[in-house]
Structure 1
Amino acid sequence: MSYSQQTPVTYDALVVGGGIGGLAAAWELTRAGLRPLLIEARGYTGGLVAGGAIGGVRMDLGAEGFVIRGDAITQMVDALGLEVVGPSGGGARLFLPPLGGADAGPGAEPDPARGWRLHRFLRDAYLGIPADPLADDVVAVIGADGAARAARDAELAGSVGTSPQDPADLAAFVRTRMGEAVLDRLVRPIVAGIHTADPADLAADTVAPGLRQATARLGSLQAAVTEMLERRRARRRGGGAADVTVAGGLFRLTDALRAAIEAAGGRVLTRTGAQWLRPADDGWEVGIAPTTRGATPSAEPVAAGPEQVVRTRRVMLACSATAALRLLAGAPGVDTALEVPVGSPIARFTLVARAPELTGAPVGSGLLVAPAAPGQVPVRAKALSHLSVKWPWIGEELRRLHGGAAPEQDEVHALRLSYGRPGEPRPQVELDDVLNDVAVLTGVRIPRADVIDSMLVRWDGTLPPVTPAYRERTRRLLAEVAPLEGLAVTGAWVAGTGIAAVVAHAREQAAALAGADSTSRVVTPEGHV
C-alpha cells in the first residue's frame, strides 16, 4: 500500500460505492445539509439497478422491484416525487413437476413439458409459506397429505424451530414447522428464483426478518404468515402486492437519487475508486484514483491513474465486500479476515418479439421454475417475466413504437428469462435456447425472424447466499467498526438481502454519520468551494 503525498482535498463526507446503498446514503447525507462526494469505480451508478433500451424501450436490466419492509424506501420514493406501483398481469405462476413424479401413461402424446405444469402463486402466502395450509390452492400444489402435514404446524409449540439451539437456515425452519412438501414445492422454487440460492444456505432471519420471532410469539408459522400479510395489506402501497416497483421502472429511482444528490451540492464521480483508507487528524483520509475495467466484467475495477487524497470527517463504505474489506484494513481494530460467499453466475436474456399469441398473458406476469436434478427439468431457464404485461408502461411504449393502439391489439411483447443456479457452471445462453424455453413455458413458439431485439446481461456473483454463519460474522465486523467515529459500512453484504433492507440500513448509517457536528465546506479538486 502506498500513500499519496498530495495536499488533501476536503469534503463534508465521502461515500464509496454508487449502488442503491451508496446513493441512498449520499442522499440521506444531503438531507442533513451535507454535500458529499460519492465515488463509483464502475462507469455508471445504480449497481444492480440499471436501465437499458431494448426494442427502443428503456427497461430494467437488473433488479426490477422490491418487497416493502418498513417505510425507508417508500419515504424516499415519495420524497423524490416518484410513485410505488404493483405488478399487473393477474399474478405469477410456479412451473412444477407432477406431484409424486407421475408420468403420462402409455400412448400419450409427446409432452415437451414432461408433465410439468403451471400453478398460480398461492393467494395467501409469504415466500411460498401458506397462511392456511388446508386452502384449496395449497392442496392443489402440494397434495392432501402435504397439506395435512403442513397444518400440523398449528399443533406444535411456538418454540419448535425457533429456539437458539435450532438450525438458523430457512429450509430447516420451514421443514420443521410445515414439512417437506411446503419446502420443496412452494418455498424452494420461490426462494431460489428470488435469491439464486437454496433456502438451506440462507439465514431465515435475513431472508424473512421477524418470521421466526413472530412464530415463537404467536405459536405457529401460519399465524406468523397471516400477521405479515395483514401488515402488508394495511400499507396499501402498490395495491398491497408482495413485490412492487417505481412507476416507469426501478432505474428511475437511482436516476432520481443521483440527480437529487447533485442538485443538493453533492458530487458524483464514476470510474473513480478508493484505494486505501487511514485515520487522520479529526477524521479520515482516503486515496482515490481513476479506474478501468478489471480482468472480467464482474471483477473489481483497477486503478488506472494518479491518486488524489480526500480528507473528511465522514466515510461511508457502500461498496462491494471485497473493496470494503480492503479499505477496512486501514481502520484500527477491525478484523478483516472474512470469507465472503460467492454468488451464482446469473444471465438474464431479454427479447422483444412479435408474438400476438402472447396477448392473453398465458403465464400471467411471469413464472418461477422449480429446481430439480440435472436432466429432470424440461427447460434451462429458472424464471420468465412477461415484462410488457407485468409493467404496463413497457407494453404501452412497445405499442407506440411498433404498432397496436390498445392492449387487445398487442402483437409485440417483451419477455425476460433468467438463467443460473447454485452449483451450476456459468450459463451459456443463445437466442435459440431462449426461444425453446419460451415455447415450453408459454406454449407459444416465436420464430427467430419475429424477434425485433434482444439483450443478454450477466450479473455474475452479485447475489451471494447469506448463511447464518456469515450473518453472524458480519455482525461482529459491524460491531468493530461502530466505535470508530466517522466511519460506517453498508451494502447488501452487511445489510441483508433485498433493496428495501439495503436502503433502510444505508439511510440509518448515513443519518448516524451526519450526526457528527461539522462546519466544513465542500472543496472540489479544482479548489472551488
Structure 2
Amino acid sequence: MSWDVIVVGGGIAGLAAARELQQAGRSVLVLESSPRVGGKLRRERVAGHLVDVGAEAMLNRRPEGVDLAAAVGLEVEHPALARSRVWTRGALRPLPRSLMGVPQDVEALRESGILTAEELAQVLAEPSLPPYELPESGDVTVGEMVDARFGAAVTDRLVEPLLGGVYAGHAREISARVAAPQLLRLAAQGSLLEAGRASADTTASTYQAPVFAGVPGGMGLLPERLAEQLTVRTDATVRGLERHPDGAGWRVLVGPTTDATWLEAGAVVLATPTAPAARLLADVAPAAAARLAAMEAASVAVVTFAFRTEDVAALDAMGSSGFLVPPVDGRSIKASTWSFAKWDWVRRAGAADGLAFLRTSLGRHREEAVLQRPDADLVALSLEDLRAAVGTALAPDVEPVDTHVQRWGAGLPQYGLGHTEAVAEVRVDVAGQPGLAVCGAAYDGVGIPAVIGSAQRAAREVLATVPVTV
C-alpha cells in the first residue's frame, strides 16, 4: 500500500504532525522505532500507579499543547502549588519572582539569602548601566548577557538552575536569541531590573492564565490518546530514505537489517531527534544533514519515588512544590519536584493507598558521567541529596516504597550560538525537496507547545504537495 504521508517518529512531534495531516484528509502512517509511542511523554507504574516519568507539564500561555489535549478529549489541570525553592548555600531558599532567573523582585531576592550583600549590590546597580548592545555576531549566550548586567552570581545561582531544568544545559552556552529573546529585547531598551519592577503592576491583569498545565492521569496520556486515532507501527526502524525512482514521492526503508522493506509515500515528515534525521537526510539533503549532525544534545535521568504519605508529611507541611539546584553547589541532582504537592491528580492517585510521589532529575550537557552509574546508584544519590536538602523533614530511616529510573539518552537538544541560523539552513535545504519536512524539539523550542507548533508547521509544508486521496 502507498500512503499519502509517512511520518518517521512517534513522539509528540510525529503524532501531532500525523493528526494534522489526517485531519486534512491524507492517509498517514507513523513509524516508531521503539516498542511504544510518546517519546519523552511517558507514563510508568510506580507502586502500582501510572505516573509521568518524562515531561509532566506544558506551558499554558502558549495554546498548541492545551488545544491539542482538548481536541483529543483530555482535560487539563493547573498546579495546585507552584512555590519552588533553590537549594543553595546550604539551605532551601524561596525562589524570587524572575524572568528566566533574572530578578524582578529585589526585596524578595534580598530576603531569600541567595546572594551575598556584595552580589546584591551589583544587582541594584544594574539600572545605571547603558542599554545592552549585542556583539557583531547578533547573538550572545544567556549567561554572558546576565553576567554583564548583574554579575556572575545571578547567572550561577538563579539562571543556571532554571535553564538546567528546561534544557539540561549551561547558561553560558545557550543562545539568548532562542532561549531568552524577551530578555534581549528588554535589555536593549534599558534596565532589566526596572522592567521587572514595572511588570509587577501589570502581571496580574495581563497574564491571568496559569503558567503551566498538566493532564490528570499524566502528560503521557496525550500521545497515547493521539496514537489511538492514528495508524502507527512500533518497533519499525527506518533505515533509509530516497526519492521514488519515478521522481514522484518518496520511499523509506523500514525494518530489521535482515528483512527491511521499502514503503512508498507522496511525502515524508521526519519527526526524529537530530542524529537519526541527519542519517536519513545524508543523501537527499546533505547540507541539512551536516547541520543536524553538528547539533549536540544532553542526556538526563528522572528518578521517581513513592513514599508513604506519613513519611513525607513534614515535606508536605513545608508548602513547596520542590526545589532547583545550581550546579555551582556541586550536588548530584539538579532538581526535585514534589509531585504530590504540585498536582492534585497525583495526590489523589496515591491517597487511596497512602502514597505520595516525588521525583528528582540528574544530568546536564557534557556532564553525563553520573548517568553511567547503575539505577540503584541514581536512587541512592537522589536520596542522599534529598535528605541533605530537607533535613529532618525526611528522616534518615525513611525508605521509599518503590522507585523508577527513567533515562533519556540525548533527550534534550542544545540551543547554542547560531542555532537560529542553523535551523534556517536546515529548512531551506529540506524545502528544496518537495514533499519532505522536519519537526521536533531541535527546531523551535523544547517545550511541548513549541514542539507541537513545529509539527503543525511541517504538516502545512507537505500538505500543498500531496493531493487528497480519492
TM, length-normalised to structure 1: 0.79
Aligned match of 1:185: 157
Aligned match of 1:500: 449
Give the distance between the partners of 1:399 and 1:70, measured in 2 at CA. Answer: 32
In structure 2, the residue corresponding to 1:181 is in which secondary structure? Answer: helix
Aligned match of 1:120: 94
Kept in 2: contact 1:490–1:502 (CA 8 A): yes
Superposition deviation, residue 130 in structure 1: 1.9
Aligned match of 1:5: none
Aligned match of 2:271: 318
Distance change >3 Å, CA 18–CA 92, structure 1 → 2: same
| Paired letter, 1:203 | S
Q: Which residue of 210, 213, 220 maps to 1:244?
A: 213
Does 2:74 correspond to 1:82? yes
Aligned match of 2:306: 352
| Paired letter, 1:441 | A
Give the distance between the partners of 2:33 and 2:351, measured in 1 at CA. Answer: 37
Give the share of equivalent positions with the same residue, in percent.
27
Give the distance between the partners of 1:253 and 1:137, measured in 2 at CA. Answer: 37
Give the distance between the partners of 1:165 and 1:227, measured in 2 at CA. Answer: 30
| Paired letter, 1:321 | T
Aligned match of 1:413: 356
Does 2:326 correspond to 1:370? yes
Give the distance between the partners of 1:138 and 1:489, measured in 2 at CA. Answer: 46
Give the distance between the partners of 1:449 and 1:69, measured in 2 at CA. Answer: 39
Distance change >3 Å, CA 492–CA 184, structure 1 → 2: same
Give the distance between the partners of 1:25 and 1:57, measured in 2 at CA. Answer: 30
Aligned match of 1:455: 404
Give the distance between the partners of 2:271 and 2:325, measured in 1 at CA. Answer: 33
Give the distance between the partners of 2:49 and 2:384, measured in 1 at CA. Answer: 24
Give the distance between the partners of 1:244 and 1:321, measured in 2 at CA. Answer: 27
Give the distance between the partners of 2:349 and 2:160, measured in 1 at CA. Answer: 35
Aligned pairs (5 A) from 1:196-207: 196-207=168-179
In structure 1, the residue corresponding to 2:73 is in which secondary structure? Answer: coil
User: Deviations for 1:353-396, whole angstroms, at most 9, x for unmatched residues?
Assistant: 22525224236111111112xxx64x422211111111121221
Superposition deviation, residue 149 in structure 1: 2.4
Does 2:457 correspond to 1:511? no
Distance change >3 Å, CA 462–CA 153, structure 1 → 2: same
In structure 2, the residue corresponding to 1:462 is in which secondary structure? Answer: strand
Superposition deviation, residue 117 in structure 1: 0.6
Give the distance between the partners of 1:494 and 1:27, measured in 2 at CA. Answer: 20
Give the distance between the partners of 1:76 and 1:488, measured in 2 at CA. Answer: 21
Give the distance between the partners of 2:204 and 2:21, measured in 1 at CA. Answer: 29
Give the distance between the partners of 1:17 and 1:223, measured in 2 at CA. Answer: 45
Superposition deviation, residue 15 in structure 1: 0.6
Aligned match of 2:415: 466
In structure 1, the residue corresponding to 2:159 is in which secondary structure? Answer: helix
Superposition deviation, residue 167 in structure 1: 4.9
Superposition deviation, residue 31 in structure 1: 2.1
Aligned match of 1:287: 252
Q: Which residue of 192, 200, 205 maps to 1:221?
A: 192
Aligned match of 1:298: none
User: Deviations for 1:145-174, whole angstroms, at most 9, x for unmatched residues?
Assistant: 43342244433343x144544652110111
Superposition deviation, residue 270 in structure 1: 0.7
Kept in 1: contact 2:168–2:365 (CA 8 A): yes
Aligned match of 1:387: 339
| Paired letter, 1:121 | L
Aligned pairs (5 A) from 1:14-163: 14-68=6-60, 70-97=62-89, 116-122=90-96, 124-132=97-105, 134-138=106-110, 140=112, 141-158=114-131, 160-162=132-134
Does 2:398 correspond to 1:433? no
In structure 2, the residue corresponding to 1:26 is in which secondary structure? Answer: helix
Give the distance between the partners of 1:190 and 1:312, measured in 2 at CA. Answer: 42
| Paired letter, 2:187 | T
Superposition deviation, residue 40 in structure 1: 0.5
Kept in 2: contact 1:347–1:420 (CA 8 A): yes
Between 55-64 and 222-231, the greater mean CA deviation after superposition: 222-231
| Paired letter, 1:419 | L
Give the distance between the partners of 1:235 and 1:136, measured in 2 at CA. Answer: 21
Aligned match of 2:233: 269
Superposition deviation, residue 341 in structure 1: 4.2
| Paired letter, 1:352 | A
| Paired letter, 1:149 | Q
Distance change >3 Å, CA 226–CA 21, structure 1 → 2: farther
Give the distance between the partners of 1:397 and 1:178, measured in 2 at CA. Answer: 43
User: Deviations for 1:433-492, whole angstroms, at most 9, x for unmatched residues?
Assistant: 333222212223456774321111111221232211344323212121123221111111
Distance change >3 Å, CA 209–CA 78, structure 1 → 2: farther
In structure 2, the residue corresponding to 1:87 is in which secondary structure? Answer: coil
Kept in 1: contact 2:250–2:267 (CA 8 A): no
Q: Over aligned residues, Cα RMSD in angstroms?
A: 2.7
Give the distance between the partners of 2:437 and 2:412, measured in 1 at CA. Answer: 22
User: Deviations for 1:115-141, whole angstroms, at most 9, x for unmatched residues?
Assistant: x1111121x312211224x33335533
Extract unaligned runs of 5+ from structure 2. none
Distance change >3 Å, CA 36–CA 138, structure 1 → 2: farther
Aligned pairs, number? 458
User: Deviations for 1:22-51, whole angstroms, at most 9, x for unmatched residues?
Assistant: 111111112212221111111111111110
In structure 1, the residue corresponding to 2:240 is in which secondary structure? Answer: strand
Kept in 2: contact 1:371–1:382 (CA 8 A): yes
Kept in 2: contact 1:481–1:487 (CA 8 A): yes
Distance change >3 Å, CA 225–CA 325, structure 1 → 2: farther
Kept in 1: contact 2:288–2:427 (CA 8 A): no
Q: Which residue of 361, 383, 398 maps to 2:350?
A: 398
Distance change >3 Å, CA 275–CA 232, structure 1 → 2: farther
Give the distance between the partners of 1:67 and 1:321, measured in 2 at CA. Answer: 23
Distance change >3 Å, CA 38–CA 355, structure 1 → 2: same
Kept in 1: contact 2:85–2:95 (CA 8 A): yes
Kept in 1: contact 2:139–2:175 (CA 8 A): no
In structure 2, the residue corresponding to 1:345 is in which secondary structure? Answer: strand
